[in-house]
Structure 1
């Protein structure tokens, strides 16, 4: 069976801990409290006796697939998987879902990612396990108690699946961000050298030479790539951010963002039209997400604005289509975006501008998502219009465990 690349990596995986607050929330939602768990007490010793048979059953199921046969037959320690499955099965009935058990299941999910195990096989294993446990309960539990026991058994397995899935999502996201940051880091120093040398060639005195013309193109590309590296860093920072929700002022954040963008205005006398509702000025979000959200959407509007007749209008009102949310619209004059290409604009690396990074709108969409909101773009007769939806105060409860995942 394949193993993590190093002993230090394996140690890191085995020492990782589950997000216990989120797991407590899952447990509460599944009604796995002491009272419901108590219905299993009379049958725990009986269920535990099935551990070895369960492990054999699961082994036989996966020994039928070419994709999993190799892992079963090439174990670093023969019988290790069976022993692990036996241990898990016993702990399922005896642990009381204590912190040790929760961390064990969580770490198994992290390890599955490190080993490159297809998550669909993990889900399939839980499907086999659910069927096995239900058959076992139907054999061992008297009919008057069977319904309550089966309900608790299902909730137990649902909880374990949530644990493993949560670990899978968190670990996969961490792997993705590590790759992105690694690439950005490796590019940064070479780009500095390339850009610096191109700049020195550009400054060479005398008649313009082919080398100077080529250096101009090299310098422009180096600048674009440096901007791309910075944008990737911003994207990863937001991706890793755990939102801390508070009441935020939209007019204040908009005004501060416009001030930052003033050097990018199409003319010195240009002024955007800010028409935000005073009675609905507050939203529930994280400023660390809202600032890049507003910055990127406003910047895109300014870049696309009609230079001969620049107009930028920002309005807000409670959404009628999505009650409980504030609808902010940012409309600019200029060419209307192609409706068939709008969704592509929100994909990383896609840009219609020669020096664009293709990360502005992906950053905006990710930042909106972190605040449980959204950002969309539509064509208008005289330009384009961004629509941002953000939660009004009191629109959602305090349980925001999935925000930013």
Structure 2
């Protein structure tokens, strides 16, 4: 895969834009609307005069740490960082939190990830900034107005921290998923070649018995790794999805998933027991996440069943412990899972089956989280039970954050 050069990567960072809808929600929650910002207007001109002093003091603070010293002293243009901090400080009081300012702070958060700056130092910088701004306000603002100004200053810096943190989380996740997808992509073609050559050896009548046996092992492992590559791709796709919440029918999705899994049933006449509450059949979620959630939990239940006495029961009811949620239980006969090993089963690459990928239950848990729900596994006297919690319609009110996350 072609790798971007430093210049193209820098251009991409400078052109990245903040999720403005989500930022508008944060701003509203912090009560930073025009009325609140107007409290700072009478003092903005005097506040901006502190910009150079602020930048100098911040530089001096971080010049004390070995980790940040190295970055401060290797500037390509001497004084560039201080000039950037001055510009940010002036914009803090004069921008009115316009789109340009929001994108500037967002891009700085993305750049911090690109440069490998420890997020704890960014948080520390905002701590220093808050202390500096409060001291400045106490010197410049009349006492009767000071309380309102300090509250707005705190909210303003909280908003900037949220912006930078949101950028940090989004960029870190993007980097992680790019690595995972890159590894999966690089493995796919070699695995195809390995599997193809193993098949040729097996078909060659002139090959000795040992060669046939070894090629069979190679083929089986290649197929397992191909399934692993596919599972990693599914995991990353769900990880990257921004849920689009809608009303979904649990019975419909469950029946469609069972139909997909029918070739994996223990016998042609096997049928699961269904007890899905008709009066609570709807949940609020994203179908793209609910399908893999049901697929992985049902598949694991089928694989764990007692083949001599197969039993699979699927039931749903409103949760009594978690109000506003539907509780779905998938219970199977067979050996009960070891309680000490249950949590490990939800970790990537952990599998108790020789040919397993170790991604089935991690995919299920991630999909549940994307729908603001959960999935757990418990041992029962007769096997294992998955418990899925999903939000009922109306469990969460409409908001920009819930809809856009």
TM-score in terms of structure 2 length: 0.98
Distance in 2 separating the partners of 1:324 and 1:140 = 50
Q: Work out whether 1:377 is the aligned partner of 2:373.
A: no
Look up the SS of the partner of 1:270 in the other structure: coil
Number of residues paired by the alignment? 402
- For the 8 Å contact 1:369–1:403, the answer to whether it is kept is no
Partner Cα separation in structure 1 for residue 335 and residue 258 of structure 2: 22
Shift of 1:205: 2.4
Cα offsets for 1:83-106 (capped at 9, x unmatched): 000000000000000000000000
Measure, in 1, the Cα distance between the counterparts of 2:43 and 2:382.
Answer: 71
Unaligned ranges ≥5, structure 1: none
Please state how far the C-alpha of 1:395 moved relative to its aligned partner.
0.4
SS at match of 1:401: helix
Q: Please show how residues 188-227 of structure 1 align to structure 2 within 5 Å.
A: 188-205=188-205, 209-227=209-227
Matched, 1:83 2:80: no
The answer (yes or no) to whether the contact 2:244–2:403 under 8 Å persists in 1 is no
Q: 1:180 aligns to what?
A: 180
1:261 is paired with a residue of what secondary structure? helix
- 1:401 CA drift (Å): 2.7
Could you report, residue by residue, the CA deviation over 1:291-348 in whole angstroms, capped at 9, with x for unpaired residues?
A: 0000000000000000000000000000011000000000000000000000000000
| Residues 21 and 404, structure 2, Cα contact 8 Å, conserved in 1 | no
Task: Report the Cα offset of residue 402 of structure 1.
Answer: 6.0
- The SS at the match of 2:39 is helix
Q: Which residue of 2 aligns with 1:327?
A: 327
Counterpart in the other structure of 1:235 = 235
Q: Is 2:285 aligned against 1:257?
A: no
Deviations 1:135-187, CA, capped at 9 Å, x for gaps: 00001001000000000000000000000000000000000010000000000
SS at match of 2:378: strand
Q: Which moved more, 1:395-404 or 1:378-387?
A: 395-404
Q: TM-score, normalised by structure 1?
A: 0.98
3-state SS, counterpart of residue 340 of structure 1: coil
Q: Which position in structure 1 is the counterpart of 2:109?
A: 109
Unaligned stretches of 5+ in structure 2?
none
Q: Residue 348 of structure 2 aligns with which residue?
A: 348
Instruction: Give 1:385 deviation, angstroms.
Output: 0.2
Instruction: Supply the distance in 2 between the matched residues of 1:10 and 1:57 (Cα, whole angstroms).
Output: 28
* Inter-partner Cα distance in structure 2 for 1:252 and 1:239: 24
Secondary structure of 2:107's partner?
Answer: helix
Q: Using the TM superposition, give the Cα deviation of residue 209 of structure 1 relative to its aligned residue in structure 2, in angstroms.
A: 1.2
How far 1:50 moved relative to its partner? 0.1
Match of 1:295 in 2: 295
Residue deviations 1:240-289, cap 9 Å, x none?
Answer: 11111110000000000000000000111111001101000000001000
RMSD value, Cα? 1.2
Q: Is the 8 A contact 1:315 1:328 kept in 2?
A: yes
C-alpha distance in 2 between matches for 1:231 and 1:58: 46
**Equivalent in the alignment of 1:245:** 245
Alpha-carbon contact 1:293-1:365 (below 8 Å) kept = yes
